[in-house]
Structure formats: structure tokens, C-alpha cells
């Protein structure tokens, strides 16, 4: 029995060792979401990075929280060199000592970063987007308009709307703003949020779920990720996006260097490449993500899209900003309140 146990343990260890050797080859490993986001990074950033440095890029893909947990478990020996994540989740990486403090002198292109993309000393923006009201015009009841977020509360939309179940911060901060508050005193918007409950039909779990709810007409009005809406438009779903007068809720996807990376210099070059004005313009073209530098030359037809910001005026007037650090701290509270008061039957 003892011999059998030893043998099995040896087999397990050797399997792990082989895995470890394979990952030690020369390359830059990027942790990112899968699907179209991985393809975007590969096409827009990695291609140029490899052409400039000769270093190949490999990917670890997964959901936001899965990768965060994975990074925490592998903290002593990180599996990736550069990590992409959303701005507020990036604060969780930073707070848990999973990101290196950035030496901005090694990222010359960051001198053009817009203020909204300077998230922390540990992570900076790679592209931006908005969560705003998306709708199918032919299924919109008469008299409903979205010049203001108030339009979402229109009783004519009873049982017609959805928003993400994984992050209610967008609607909750909007409700707070419409009630005279903001993210820091979100409680002032509780009654306003409760007034929105009858209009909800469902809550979507991910972008694919949101697409499906639009495509089948189940929820013709959604609080939706702009990049996802543009993807659906390209697939033939006639979605329109509104930018309400209060601004659309800004989201910034960010990059950081994983703590303990042995390829920090290459990681800096990769991040610098991501902020190259041409690369930023390509990101806008491929996925309709807003550039986060002020010197990207974006095609006029793309610059005109809601959620793509190319001027200081647009950044100032069309965005509703939730401080990423506050959002990281409040997400749990907001999520629980939303589940207990809005999603509960």
C-alpha cells in the first residue's frame, strides 16, 4: 500500500514538473479574457509587439474572477507576465499585492494617457467603453426616449429591460445620481432603484447572454456594454445606443504587470505597445473600444460612435465615472443589496 501511494504521488509530481518546464520557455504570457478580447489583444497589440521584439505572446484566458483567484493561488510563482482586467478588479490585484508598481518612465506612450485611464500606481487603462442604454428601436413603446437615464424608468417599459447580474454598479450609481447623490452615498438612490424593479424582465449573466436576450427580443432594452452592442450590430441585430445627458457609465479595461514576473522589461514594452497611438486606433476600429490616449488617430466614422471618446470634451461630458477603488470596495455591498431588493421575487 505504501509503495502504491508513493508511486501515485511520484506520478503526480512528475506531471506537475513537466507542466512547469513547458511554461518556462521564452515567451511573454498575457492573462486575459477569452474569445473576442483575446483575439483583439492578439491582433492589435501582440502582433506589433512580436514584430518589434521577436518575442512571442501566449495567453492564459478565463473569466475575471477565475483569473484573479488563479493569480492569487500562483502568487509565489506567477503564471502570467501581463494581466488584463477591469479597473476596479485591478484594485483587488493591487490590494492583494499581485501587481508590480509601475515605473511610468518605462512606458513613454503613457504620457498621453487621459486622466480617466490613470487608475492606480499599479494598473493603467488599455481601452475604454461605456455601459449605457441599448435598445431595439422597432420594439420601443411610443413616447419612450433615452435623452436622460430617467427614460429607463418609463412605466411603458414594464417587463422589458435587463442589466448585468454580475455587476449592478452601473444602474445603482445612475439611480443615486438621479436622486442627487453619487457612488459614495449610493443609499440615496435606493428608492429610485426599487422604482425600476417593475421594468425588469431578466438579468443577464454575460455578453453572450445579453446578445441572446436582444436577438430573441426578450428584453429589447438593456443596460449594455457598448463594445458588445457594436459586435451585435455587426451580426445584424439592429441595436441603437443612447448616451443620456447625465453621461454613460464609463468602464476602463486595464493592464498591470504581474507581481514576480521575470520578464518585467518585456512586459513594460508590451504595455507601451498597447498605448501606441496606431495600436489604440486599431483597437477602436476592431472592437469599437475607446482609445485611452489623446493622440490616437481614429477614423471619423468610428470616432462618431457613442462610447468612443476622442476629445477632452467628450471625456468630460459624456462619461459618468465611478471611482475604481471605491467600486472595488462597494461592489460586494451593491451586489448583495441588488440581489435582495431588486432580483428577489
Q: Which residues bind another protein (CB under 8 A)?
A: 1, 3-5, 7-9, 12, 65, 68-69, 72, 91-92, 95-96, 162, 165-167, 201-205, 209, 212-213, 216-218, 325, 328-336, 339-340, 343-345
**Which lies closer to another protein via its Cβ, residue 167 or residue 294?**
167
Task: Provide the minimum distance between the beta carbon of 3 and another protein in the complex, in angstroms, as a whole number.
Answer: 7
Which conformational region is residue 288 in: left (phi greater than 0), alpha (psi within -120 to 50 degrees), or beta?
Answer: left
Residue 343 C-beta: closest distance to another protein, Å:
5
As measured in angstroms, the least distance from the Cβ of 103 to another protein is: 24
The nearer residue to another protein, 97 or 145, going by C-beta atoms, is: 97
C-beta closer to another protein: residue 71 or 308: 71
Contacts of 313 (CB under 8 A, 6+ apart): none
Which residue is associated with the grid cell 467603453?
129
Q: Are 169 and 323 in contact (CB under 8 A)?
A: no
49 or 84, CB closer to another protein? 84
Work out how close the CB of 175 gets to another protein at its nearest, in angstroms, rounded to a whole number.
18
Which residue, among 132, 166, 213, 163, has the nearest Cα to 63 in the 3D structure? 166
Q: In whole angstroms, give the CA distance from residue 229 to residue 240.
A: 8
Residue closer to another protein by CB (options 253, 276) is: 253
Please report how close the Cβ of residue 188 comes to another protein at its closest, in angstroms.
Answer: 20
At 131, list the grid cell.
455601459
Secondary structure class of 175 (helix, strand, coil): helix
- Least distance CB 202 / another protein (angstroms): 3
Q: In the complex with another protein, which residue's Cβ is closer, 300 or 345?
A: 345
Rounded to whole angstroms, the Cα distance separating 90 from 83 reads: 9
Q: Which of 76, 83, 75 is nearest to 59 (CA)?
A: 83
How far, in Å, are 141, 144, 190, 232, 253 from residue 151 at the CA level? Answer: 11, 6, 18, 23, 28
Amino acid at each position: 500500500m505504501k509503495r502504491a501511494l508513493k508511486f501515485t504521488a511520484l506520478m503526480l509530481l512528475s506531471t506537475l514538473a513537466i507542466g512547469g518546464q513547458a511554461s518556462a520557455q521564452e515567451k511573454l504570457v498575457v492573462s486575459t479574457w477569452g474569445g473576442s478580447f483575446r483575439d483583439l489583444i492578439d491582433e492589435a497589440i501582440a502582433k506589433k509587439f512580436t514584430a518589434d521584439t521577436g518575442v512571442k505572446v501566449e495567453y492564459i484566458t478565463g473569466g475575471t474572477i477565475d483569473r484573479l483567484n488563479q493569480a492569487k493561488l500562483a502568487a509565489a510563482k506567477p503564471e502570467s507576465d501581463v494581466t488584463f482586467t477591469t479597473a476596479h478588479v485591478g484594485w483587488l490585484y493591487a490590494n492583494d499585492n499581485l501587481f508590480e508598481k509601475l515605473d511610468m518612465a518605462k512606458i513613454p506612450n503613457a504620457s498621453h494617457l487621459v486622466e480617466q485611464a490613470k487608475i492606480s500606481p499599479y494598473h493603467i487603462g488599455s481601452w475604454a467603453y461605456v455601459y449605457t442604454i441599448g435598445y431595439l428601436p422597432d420594439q420601443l413603446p411610443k413616447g419612450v426616449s433615452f435623452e436622460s437615464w430617467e427614460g429607463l424608468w418609463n412605466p411603458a417599459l414594464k417587463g422589458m429591460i435587463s442589466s448585468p447580474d454580475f455587476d449592478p454598479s452601473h444602474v445603482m450609481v445612475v439611480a443615486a445620481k438621479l436622486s442627487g447623490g453619487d457612488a459614495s452615498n449610493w443609499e440615496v438612490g435606493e428608492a429610485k432603484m426599487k422604482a425600476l424593479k417593475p421594468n425588469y424582465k431578466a438579468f443577464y449573466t454575460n455578453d453572450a447572454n445579453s446578445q441572446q436576450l436582444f436577438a430573441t427580443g426578450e428584453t429589447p432594452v438593456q443596460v449594455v456594454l457598448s463594445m458588445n452592442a457594436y459586435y451585435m450590430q455587426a451580426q445584424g441585430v439592429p441595436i441603437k445606443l443612447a448616451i443620456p445627458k447625465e453621461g454613460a457609465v464609463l468602464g476602463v479595461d486595464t493592464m498591470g504587470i504581474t507581481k514576480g514576473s521575470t520578464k518585467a522589461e518585456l512586459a513594460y514594452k508590451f504595455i507601451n505597445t498597447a498605448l501606441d497611438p496606431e495600436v489604440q486606433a486599431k483597437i477602436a476600429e476592431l472592437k469599437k473600444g475607446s482609445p485611452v490616449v489623446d493622440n490616437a488617430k481614429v477614423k471619423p466614422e468610428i470616432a462618431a460612435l457613442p462610447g468612443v471618446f476622442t476629445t477632452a470634451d467628450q471625456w468630460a461630458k459624456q462619461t459618468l465615472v465611478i471611482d475604481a477603488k471605491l467600486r472595488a470596495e462597494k461592489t460586494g455591498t451593491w451586489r448583495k443589496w441588488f440581489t435582495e431588493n431588486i432580483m428577489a421575487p
